[in-house]
Structure 1
């Protein structure tokens, strides 16, 4: 009996919402691309940080045997980089946490990919999140970029593929970059489409054996199946 390996999407709300946007959704597109190749294991946790993510990843890995999960994206930092509130994770700890997450994955033979932090429309976000702002849960463009640049350096040091969403959103979005964000932080359908394309490009370059076009489908195509099913 054939067993499907899994593709883990792990992170905060931007990962959790991977199936929610239309007409394009990251989760739906990945599920389609990896049909009969890898199962998408969707594990996003709105509001979570790298500190809390460590505890979650421990539970996820306990549920799965070694080699059960083939590849994983890690996307934390939008909450860690807050300037106030319970989500704040200092930069040094954030980097140590992200390093630990990749060590945990690699210990289980899982190939990690860091997803870098994208753009932030502070004006729109603070218009929508008035109550959070009153509580001091402040985000800034500059601090988000500090965390992103530090993660990019960690990726280089640890030889982890890095999906540079800040660069991609800036270059592809151009003057219309705000259209890539629903509320100033979370992605629109167009934003998720950029993530998808950049992710597949990173997989093709770094883990070509898991690029969809290079993978065999589970079970033969129907035209190759014998009438009695004996070759299934």
Structure 2
């Protein structure tokens, strides 16, 4: 069986299999090396994600994933007194929830690579314009998130990773290192453009390469076509199963 990579998160994960998405890129990169499993839930925060753990990572699961990405925070960081207040989770609870998710994954296998991804930065002006265009929302009411708030959740995410000894990609920080990040990486002030998806993909590859899960380090699930015995393909599979070739 191929190793499994599970992508767990909110809409930025759910949309990652769209054309140009970071999940789609990962699937293409690891073709025949790993099965990339999408578990993205648009609009979810870490509080709601906890209720999914028993289904996604049940105790006693034999086939533990090789990789789990945990990408929450954009909804937790919604302002508590604005239109998206039902999604808001206070920073201390957000951090504790991340640690609980990590603990659930670690209970399956100590060998699973866990990678936290912080929420991306927020371009407030574009968020307002998007809400006005799509929903006719009042500009003040549309201001449901701020970049400063997203930064506090990103910091908590980095701290949770350190506390739990997990890997982390500080997306909030690295994206803002590029001039014009507001429209270069974000298509509506929050969700990612193709270039924004590329940043997640490239940063994730860096972690995978560093942690022994590079494409080159992983085995094909079956022999390449040039190694198949054309006259007796069953023999090739028998050798694979019995000789470890």
TM-score, with structure 1 as normaliser: 0.90
Consecutive unaligned residues of structure 1, counting only runs of 5 or more, are none
Partner-residue secondary structure (3-state), 1:147: helix
Deviations 1:132-170 (A, max 9, x none): 667677211111101101111221222111112123212
Give the structure, 1 or 2, with the largest relative contact order (CA under 8 Å, sep 6 or more): 1
Which is greater in Rg? 2
Aligned residues: 225
RMSD, aligned α-carbons = 1.9
CA spacing shift, 1:176–1:164, aligned 2, 3 Å: closer
Consecutive unaligned residues of structure 2, counting only runs of 5 or more, are 238-245
Among candidates 204, 214, 218, match of residue 199 of structure 1: 204
Matched, 1:213 2:209: no
Partner-residue secondary structure (3-state), 2:220: coil
**Which residue number in structure 1 is paired with residue 106 of structure 2?**
106
1:64 Cα deviation after fit = 8.5
Q: How does 1:32-181 map to 2 (within 5 A)?
A: 32-62=28-58, 65-84=61-80, 85-109=85-109, 110-130=112-132, 131=135, 138-171=144-177, 173-181=178-186
Among candidates 14, 17, 28, match of residue 16 of structure 1: 14
CA spacing shift, 1:135–1:66, aligned 2, 3 Å: farther
1:176 Cα deviation after fit = 4.7
* In structure 2, distance between residues paired with 1:126 and 1:174: 21
Q: 1:116–1:164: 8 Å Cα contact kept in structure 2?
A: yes
